[in-house]
Structure 1
Amino acid sequence: MSRFADRSGPIRLGMVGGGQGAFIGAAHRVAARLDGEYTLVAGALSSTPDKARASGEALGLAADRTYDDFTEMAKREARLKDGIEAVAIVTPNHLHLPVAREFLKRGIHVICDKPLTGTLADAKKLAALAEKSDALFMLTHTYAGYPMVREAQERVARGDLGTIRLVQVEYAQDWLAHAPEADNKQAAWRTDPAQSGAGGATGDIGTHAWHLARHITGLEPESIAADLQAFVPGRQLDDNAHVMIRFQGGARGTLWCSQVAAGLENGLRIRVFGDKAGLEWRQENPNELRVTEIGGPTMTLTRGLAATSDASRAMTRIPPGHPEGYFEAFANLYGAAAAAIRHRRSSDGLPEGIDFPSVVDGLEGVSFVDACVRSSKRNAAWVTL
């Protein structure tokens, strides 16, 4: 049950991190306002006071709702009659646990960027906090918000592919192929173990690939064998990983994530093969899903067609032929969170049919990174998750 007297109108949103020059904070703000479900009213947008105030002013936040410190923000917003109902956490990974803790214990819903945390120990602590809290916790694995990802999930679930045999997923980029850390704040924290955590590419993009494979197939992992590299001299965290996966029931998988693959920009791709058919989806062409029955021609499904599932079409915003992409997928997750938050204004639990990545998905992602590191240290030995 909501602690707020006023339960009408847009959801009052706060943000921690995401100040001037931060890409992911801007993406969250676009997603939050795309459907008019949220209004940003407060923020601790930077750990640097001058930048925090300048960022708040640029976004039109009131001076007394622009904070230098997230703890101060959580305490004061919890006391206000019109205080925030939810907070978006868009900080480096090492801050996810302390920030989320302050808001969860005050009953404020949390929308957190992935990965859940930088270390498995912190992930377990945060999962326990979220379990005990009355507030909701949503993790922004953005790619789960694409209509054709949902279509792939639906087709696997209803048995179109038959028994799943093989899963191949990759997420490859080239933006860290050299050492831009000195000149690029986004690169600097992602390659710093103190801020990023145990994983480099595995934590930053490998967790996206891992979640996509789990989300579409529903397969439960049994063990993995990982070979991690830091190709750039002096880099302390992995920038490339090859991972073999054994799933319960006998299916096998491979996951490749890299941030040193020259010529690849945001190459997230998944292929799933069963004993009846296979499918393929690519993030850089997200409005299409390729499906091939064994012995048959390849069928290219496009977003919004009558041949797609109700669940997929429900995530489609504009008519076929008008491209939808990253911001719309992000907004689909924010929309699901909004429906759950609105439901909580007057009731407990979740409304029927609401699905978004949770703290459980986040814990699984950090467990994957931890297993990769353990395996690679043992010369790519098989380890359980």
Structure 2
Amino acid sequence: MKRLLTLLFSCLLITLQAQEKAPPVKVAIIGLTHTHVHWILGRENRGDIEIVGIVEPNKDLAQRYTKQHGYSMDIVFDSMERLMENIQPEAVTAFGTIYNHLEIVEFFAPKGIHVMVEKPLAVSLDHAKKMSALAKKHNIHLLTNYETTWYGSNQKTYDLVHSEKLVGDIRKIVVHDGHRGPKEIGVNDEFLEWLTDPKLNGAGALTDFGCYGANLATWLMKGEKPTSVFAMTATNKPELYPNVDDEATILLQYPKTQVVIQASWNWPISRKDMEVYGVTGQIIADNGSTLRYKLGDDLEEVKLTNLSKETPRDDPFTLLAAVVRGEVALKDTDLTALENNLIVMEILEAAKQSAKSGKVVKLKK
């Protein structure tokens, strides 16, 4: 009897320990000039991460944002070096210029600190390759965050295509992303300054919104690279954007599939939507939570609403914490994964080359 009680107690203890919540992952924010930073500063406390430090040399900006979101200026530092003298984060999130992503990985990777950058992965393919080499050398996770990664409609589209085989083989994907323009929608000066700088942002709308379509296409095509890339860019509002494109159309050709990426700072309304056309039907994801599909001319269109993703894949920072803890292993094809985003950077680099030359750019296998 005593043995049985001891065994039962041991089982209960193991169960309680398993149910005990893991401590939050200590995260530092590097840069505040990307306004997507409000995503992490203003999120509800899920208990999965703890913001332990912020690096931002612009004190006025730091004071505005810490006051807005209820953080102390005591955790704000002028540099990454000063941060590390005072704080030991497990992971960092990059919310500054895309050009700075390489510098952030160069600094934190050798220290074994994981990195999540805001989309796209890097300002150029050269930077991306260096970042990848550092991540692999120092065995850190390097994730890229896109808003569309967390759309339930996009996940359902993927499942309908690949798990349920609803529309047959993919023949065409069309992705629309953008808005009226960063000046027109009133982004703050700190963001606008580098978003319209070809060195710091890599391009204009091509980088800002072209990356979404490249990322989604690479995911839907299960990591397959296109055979060729053709792109046209334009600056339709030179009085507002004299140094970068505000309009970009990118065509990706695969052996039996074509992808059309329309990235624009000229849409009359903000949009992030996607169309997938298969041999036997079509799926249109109108927004983050709604999609429509139709199978053949004579069948009724079906609409699905209130679509969402399950935790931890419903939020960038919840997923980051799960990856850091080893609870989730990313596949190379995943939307946040390094390998997917290296292909994205290859596509964007080819698109810039094509737009400049007016020629189709062939990609190496």
What interval of TM-score do these two structures reach, taking the shorter chain for normalisation? 0.7 to 0.9
Q: How far, CA to CA, are the matches of 1:57 and 1:287 in structure 2?
A: 32
* Counterpart code for 1:381: V
Structure 1 match to 2:6: none
Aligned match for 2:36, one of 24, 44, 53: 24
Q: How far, CA to CA, are the matches of 1:313 and 1:51 in structure 2?
A: 33
Aligned match for 2:177, one of 171, 177, 183: 171
Q: Deviations over 1:60-117 (max 9, x none)?
A: 3462x4211123324543xxxxx21111110011111101221111011111111111
Alignment of 1:256 with 2:258, yes or no, is no
* Counterpart code for 2:353: R
* Counterpart code for 2:205: A
Q: Deviations over 1:222-280 (max 9, x none)?
A: 11111111222262211101222201x3111211111023x222x12211111111100
Alignment of 1:297 with 2:300, yes or no, is yes
Matches of residues 120-269 of structure 1 in structure 2 within 5 Å?
120-158=125-163, 159-176=165-182, 184-197=189-202, 199-218=203-222, 220-233=225-238, 235-247=242-254, 249-261=255-267, 263-265=268-270, 267-269=271-273
Q: How far, CA to CA, are the matches of 1:258 and 1:313 in structure 2?
A: 27
Q: Deviations over 1:28-70 (max 9, x none)?
A: 2334x442211111111x223565467557643462x421112
Structure 1: gaps spanning 5 or more residues: 1-6, 78-82, 305-311, 317-328
Q: Tell me, yes or no, if the aligned pair for 2:173 and 2:258 is still in contact at 8 Å.
A: yes
Choose 66-75 or 369-378, whichever is displaced more. 66-75
Structure 1 match to 2:316: 333
Structure 1 match to 2:48: 37
1:276 alignment partner, SS class:
coil
2:77 alignment partner, SS class:
coil
Q: Tell me, yes or no, if the aligned pair for 2:115 and 2:140 is still in contact at 8 Å.
A: yes
Structure 2 match to 1:288: 290
Alignment length (residue pairs): 338
Q: How far, CA to CA, are the matches of 1:223 and 1:118 in structure 2?
A: 21
Q: TM-score, normalised to structure 2's length?
A: 0.83
RMSD of the alignment, in Å?
A: 2.9
Q: Tell me, yes or no, if the aligned pair for 1:53 and 1:67 is still in contact at 8 Å.
A: no
Alignment of 1:363 with 2:359, yes or no, is no
Structure 2: gaps spanning 5 or more residues: 1-20
Aligned match for 2:117, one of 78, 94, 112: 112
1:122 alignment partner, SS class:
helix
Q: Cα offset for 1:171?
A: 1.1
Q: How far, CA to CA, are the matches of 1:122 and 1:75 in structure 2?
A: 27
Q: Cα offset for 1:23?
A: 2.2
Q: Deviations over 1:304-353 (max 9, x none)?
A: 5xxxxxxx66359xxxxxxxxxxxx8x52222221121227xxxx8389x
Alignment of 1:271 with 2:271, yes or no, is no
Q: How far, CA to CA, are the matches of 1:121 and 1:246 in structure 2?
A: 23
Q: TM-score, normalised to structure 1's length?
A: 0.79
